Structure 1
């Protein structure tokens, strides 16, 4: 039977690896739990997972060369998320360790939060609520009606395609820029035209070296004065210094973010504290449905590995020599 180390702390398991998923994992493998209160990394992770064939890793646990080098029994490193940017795949491949990722189960949850944040910015919901919570009367301010306004989506992936019809149903014009995808069901525009015409801009592109600081000083300068920015994709898509300057100058009326440069992709505290910013601590996919989907994905993958099969979430199948040798010797 495969032996699996689940990296989630007890607190993280409650939200990201619910009891049904843990029970299902125990049905296909022997499970060793991380009992500490902090994420593990490097040799410390290898030590905690000693004798385990698989590491099922939360998004805060990196896959570092030191772990692969110090874990001779390790066959596979499975991420309970789509994002594998903190896993050194070349190092894993060099060690013969398989890396897998989960399928997206958070599309609806993230899209719903995006719409909520957009409405919050337009109507000042958080600002008014904060004032009331602090025992003061909020300032009565004119809001922004979203019907008739333009929403600009940069990227045409699953989340953008989910958001677009919702915004359209609200009476918004939806425009999209994605040089790598065929846009259907929305109006495709060039980047500069999208920035100039949008009242709300949502960067939803994949995080790559090319898209780092996609939203920078030049991009903010090209946006309508008084427009909003909503980021629920990756923190590195936004140049935070440029964003802060755009808010200070009034070029942007406000921003909402579920991601940023703080640990675990959370918004930077200095930006999140601003009155013109709505922020949540990277919880876009934190709903029972989304969390269970990705946890159960890893259960399915471990089950396939236990049967000697290559899981479809594999990202370096050709380099997984340890698993290949283990499966052959079964």
Structure 2
């Protein structure tokens, strides 16, 4: 059995990040980790790869170069950056690292929700410039008590379940919509009914061709005028033009988005900038010291499991 090779197609280089844990863990099992510094060099070594790791989008054309590859590991929870249909045609498994940031993303969802309830971002920004008088703002009179509200969670996977549990811990009622209902002790509803009943709708669903623009103008029209929308999943779940139109028209109380359909969204074409009832963050929901440490360990474990299952590494 030849020594397995793992290629990181697009190594993370823009932040303080290294792959020492993955490299050392894989080396203990005789597996080589390659970190090509350019995409051209990545393409040159893809034919050697038993497993490919993709931090972002993996162009479909690259799959055809991966003649030895048994699996692609998305270095994230989401897997929408890989053409799963073409990968399946080539016999390449597509998987992810699902457990590394469950607490962080669910925390981010609750934090964004609370920021909207308390108009935290605009009032804090005003206070930072010495502005004290905010009692003439519409947002001042639309703050809500959290206890007693209903949170509708769309997508009840690991993260969605934790969002629901944390909402319940705040004294809220949690309801859910998911195309694959589970035995979770939370009422499952059709999406239209969830939208109509929820004070807050939190998106935790995967982005698929079927779920793109799941929250469009028609869906927003079903939501209450005093409801808020929170998205910590994928930006493509929301029709942002329809959302901006509804917010400007007062058909929603607010929105908080950690993810956008285009990242980063060009400031000169972003319809959601400059609104006091909108909170925008930079896709940071998965971030924490603990999550980063978990990612290294769990990614290495996932790679080793894949190599063993596909016969590229001897079982223990």
Give the TM-score, by structure 1 length. 0.79
Query: Is residue 55 from structure 1 mapped to residue 56 from structure 2 by the alignment?
Result: no
What displacement does 1:83 show?
2.2
Match of 1:172 in 2: 172
Match of 2:43 in 1: 46
My pick for the range that moved more, 174-183 or 79-88, is: 174-183
Match of 2:5 in 1: 3
What displacement does 1:56 show?
2.0
Residue 210 of structure 2 aligns to a residue whose secondary structure is: helix
Residue 300 of structure 1 aligns to a residue whose secondary structure is: helix
What are the Cα deviations for residues 168-205 of structure 1, in whole angstroms up to 9, with x where unaligned?
22121222233530464333444333222221111333
What are the Cα deviations for residues 40-82 of structure 1, in whole angstroms up to 9, with x where unaligned?
4xx6631365754432221x241422x2334555554322223
C-alpha RMSD over aligned residues:
3.1
Q: Spell out the pairing of 1:57-136 with structure 2 (5 A cutoff).
A: 57-58=54-55, 60-65=56-61, 67-72=62-67, 74=69, 76-95=71-90, 97-134=92-129, 136=131
Match of 1:318 in 2: none
Runs of 4+ aligned structure 1 residues displaced above 6 Å come to 264-268
CA contact (8 A) 1:231 1:256 kept: yes
Match of 2:256 in 1: 256
Match of 1:276 in 2: 277
My pick for the range that moved more, 173-182 or 238-247, is: 173-182
Give the TM-score, by structure 2 length. 0.82
Matches of 2:209 and 2:48 in 1, distance apart? 36
Residue 152 of structure 1 aligns to a residue whose secondary structure is: strand
Matches of 2:106 and 2:258 in 1, distance apart? 12
Q: Which one has more relative contact order, counting CA pairs under 8 Å at least 6 apart?
A: 1
Matches of 1:265 and 1:151 in 2, distance apart? 28
* Equivalent residues, number: 304
Q: Spell out the pairing of 1:1-330 with structure 2 (5 A cutoff).
A: 1-6=3-8, 7-12=10-15, 14=17, 19-28=20-29, 29-35=31-37, 40=39, 45-47=42-44, 49=46, 51-58=48-55, 60-65=56-61, 67-72=62-67, 74=69, 76-95=71-90, 97-134=92-129, 136-137=131-132, 139-140=134-135, 141-142=140-141, 143-182=143-182, 184-263=184-263, 269-304=270-305, 309-310=308-309
Matches of 2:192 and 2:159 in 1, distance apart? 22
CA contact (8 A) 1:198 1:223 kept: yes
What displacement does 1:240 show?
0.9
